[in-house]
Amino acid sequence: MSQHSLTRRVAALAGATAVLVALAGCSTPAATGDADEDVPGISDDTVTIGAHTPLTGPAAAGYSSISAAATAYFDYLNDNGGVHGRDIEYIVKDDGYNPATTQTVVRELVQEDEVFAIVNGLGTPTHTAVLDYLNQNEVPDLFVASGSTSWNQPEKYPFTFGFNADYVVEGAALAQYATDEYPDKVVCLLGQDDDFGDEMIEGAELALGADGLAQVERYSVSNQDVAAQIGALKAAGCEINILATINGFTALALGTAAQLGWFPMWFSSSSGANYETLVGYLGADVGPKLLQGLVGTNYLPASGGDSEWVTLFRQINDEYNDGATFDGNTIYGMSVAYLFAEALEAAGENPTRQSLIDAVQSGDLAGNGILPLSFGEDSHAAYLGAGITTVDQGVQDYVGATYAFDGGTVTTVDPSPVALSGEGVPGP
């Protein structure tokens, strides 16, 4: 599926809905290695790491800015002394969101570039294609950019750690918020026909009960037409639609519904709820109207908030990222990069791959989220909870509702945001 054809499809729908919208008004020190030990990716002055990500293809518009933001943070970090005197070199390779290409570029990173670790490889189908390879070769596979629960299997995949709140958590949080705030509304779900959709359904049913979703519709990312699915949701009387969609298909769903003159409430996973990306798909005239009231999940500082992290990341973006659009993807990329720097600092002055793994699962990393990290020897999940965001007049920010997920139970919790320290540069 072409990114450009998907964009054209959404834009056409957006144009067709303009009139409809107008009418609707709508720390334990980690072990360190011997200074003379030959560790891949480690030199006297450099740590080389890598990532696979879609710089082209159907997911590029939603996600290509993440690695650019991470690179900008690493440039900022390097200008401020790096980690233990070493600069971080981040090699980003385009996989076009194609699992076969992911296998090729990850092997290049490991065998030819000899990276120390893979950091924030993006996508469930793409990263699944290299999961066994990385663990068999004992390459640290940190902070995967996907909410699949596959990354949280410490016994099977001891070198892999997730970063996103997983899709079960997000599905449960969105469904619980729907129950808490709109108890009488009919809740339905539209999702990808893969693990993304499966796990969002699982989470939603944990909050709503096995029969709590009035209608479930699935789609394939290879088909840009979701008119049949949207029509079925409308016919079922759905009032709140939970979305297990990437950004392009979130926009496609909203545009298709508006073309039908239907304006329900939309509750989206963080993977498909980035406001600026969605406006890019829908168009500046129609997008803000269609997206007013969009509910999403997040676990990092919100782009519309006043966190000191957001202030710092804006400064870094202006200075090191050519003034690129600042949005949730920017915060995500810089947050991942900061967490890696924190783990590398904890891994010691002469880090090894094992000391890096030990640092992550020590339980001592803080990150910069609104909830504590969940890493440990028995948990390779980053966040087991999420806050609820809404879009209001173009600003995407938290509304105060935050949920944690534990043992199949969804509970309301108070957020505990991590304060900025050391100007965003990890160290003692």
Q: What is the pLDDT of residues 158-208, one digit of tens each?
A: 999 999 999 999 999 999 999 999 999 999 999 999 999 999 999 999 999
- What is the residue extent of each domain of the chain? 46-165+306-383
Coil vs helix vs strand at 390: strand
> Buried b vs exposed e over 206-228: b needs ≥16 C-beta within 10 Å?
bbbeeeebbbbbbbebeebebee
Whole-angstrom CA distances from 351 to 118, 153, 305, 343, 364 are 15, 24, 36, 10, 17
d(CA 43, CA 38): 9
d(CA 411, CA 172): 10
CB neighbours of residue 337 within 10 Å:
29
Q: Which residues pair with 376 in a beta bridge?
A: 379
Contact 372, 413 (CB under 8 A): no
Whole-angstrom CA distances from 183 to 178, 180, 239 are 7, 6, 11
Among residues 63, 51, 130, 123, the alpha carbon closest in space to that of 91 is found at: 51
Per-residue tokens: 336: 């991942």
CB neighbours of residue 398 within 10 Å:
18
Distance from CA of residue 172 to its chain's centroid? Answer: 17
Per-residue tokens: 103: 């296998």
Work out the pLDDT band at 407, boundaries 50, 70, 90: confident
Residue 24 has pLDDT above 80, yes or no: no
Coil vs helix vs strand at 162: strand
Among residues 316, 371, 362, the alpha carbon closest in space to that of 338 is found at: 316
**CATH ID of 46-165+306-383, from 3.10.20.30, 3.30.40.230, 3.40.50.880, 3.40.50.2300:** 3.40.50.2300
d(CA 182, CA 270): 20
d(CA 398, CA 296): 9
> Buried b vs exposed e over 297-322: b needs ≥16 C-beta within 10 Å?
bbbbbbbbbebebbebbeebbeebbe
CB neighbours of residue 399 within 10 Å:
13
For residue 184, the 8-state DSSP code is T
Residues whose CB is less than 8 angstroms from the CB of residue 201 and which lie 6 or more positions away in sequence, other chains included: 171, 189, 191, 213, 216, 244
pLDDT at 257: 98
Specify the DSSP element, H or E, that contains 23: helix 3-24
Contact 243, 190 (CB under 8 A): yes
Rg (CA), the chain: 21
Residue 299 has pLDDT above 90, yes or no: yes
d(CA 110, CA 95): 15
Residue 12 has pLDDT above 80, yes or no: no
d(CA 372, CA 157): 23
pTM comes to 0.90
pLDDT tens for 360-404 read 999 999 999 999 999 999 999 999 999 999 999 999 999 999 999
Residue 27 has pLDDT above 50, yes or no: no
Contact 386, 165 (CB under 8 A): yes
pLDDT tens for 73-110 read 999 999 999 999 999 999 999 999 999 999 999 999 99
pLDDT at 14: 52
Contact 192, 221 (CB under 8 A): yes
- Across the range 288-305, mean pLDDT stands at 96
Distance from CA of residue 416 to its chain's centroid? Answer: 20
- Across the range 309-324, mean pLDDT stands at 96
Length of the chain: 428
pLDDT at 221: 85
pLDDT at 2: 43
Per-residue tokens: 423: 């100007």
Per-residue tokens: 50: 């890598």
User: Over the chain, what is the mean pLDDT?
Assistant: 92
Per-residue tokens: 303: 């782009």
